[in-house]
Amino acid sequence: MLLPMRAEALKGHLDGLLLALLEAGPAHGYAVIEALRSASGGTFDLPTGTVYPALRRLEEDGLVKSAWHEPAGERRRRVYELTAKGRKTLAAQRDAWHQFSTAVSAVMVGDRAWTPLPTT
């Protein structure tokens, strides 16, 4: 059984994960936390307090935007969605992650599919 990953292990990847989850569509903070839990099969069970401030930081940087949403008969919720700048950043982070993870696999498990980028 996989143990939940510690928050420190995800530092540096959290922004990309949150952007990827919001790519599916707008969501409120707790829905993002639950989606992170379920999409990772419980591996990324971050302290809830880590995710809300991270969403606010992404908003300050213009990668997501948010607005209060109050469906009839339901609680008022702050809903986050990806901006155009957020989509570009997500695409760049995906490329960087693909390169990184393929390189790590090549070294750690001998996956020869990876070829280094030219250095020139």
Partner 1 sequence: MDTVADYLSRLDAALPLPVGQRHRIVAEVSDGLHCAIERGARSGMDVGQAERAAVAEFGDPVRLAAQFTQALAPGMARRVGLALVVTGPMVGLAWLAGIGHGVDWTSRLSSVLSALPYFPVILAVTVPAAIVAVLRGSVSLRRNISSRGATLAARLACSGCLLADTVLIASAAGGLQSGRFTASAWITLAFGLSALRWVGAANATWRLARLRVAGY
Applying CB under 8 A, the residues found at the interface with partner 1 are: 11, 15, 28-31, 33-34, 47-50, 52-54, 56-57, 60-61, 75-78
Residue closer to partner 1 (CB basis): 48 or 99 = 48
Decide whether 5 or 106 has the Cβ nearer to partner 1. 5
CB neighbourhood size of 92 (10 A): 11
Nearer to partner 1, 34 or 111 (CB): 34
38: three-class secondary structure by DSSP? helix
Return the residue matching tokens 């919001």.
22
At its nearest, how many Å lie between partner 1 and the CB of residue 5?
16
Please check whether residue 17 is in contact with residue 10, taking contact to mean a CB–CB distance below 8 angstroms.
yes
CB 28 within 8 A of CB 40: no
* Minimal distance, residue 109 CB to partner 1, in Å: 30
Nearer to partner 1, 61 or 111 (CB): 61
* Rounded least distance, CB 55 to partner 1, Å: 8
Round to whole Å and give the CA distance between 55 and 71: 22
Beta strand pairing status for 27-28 and 77-82? antiparallel
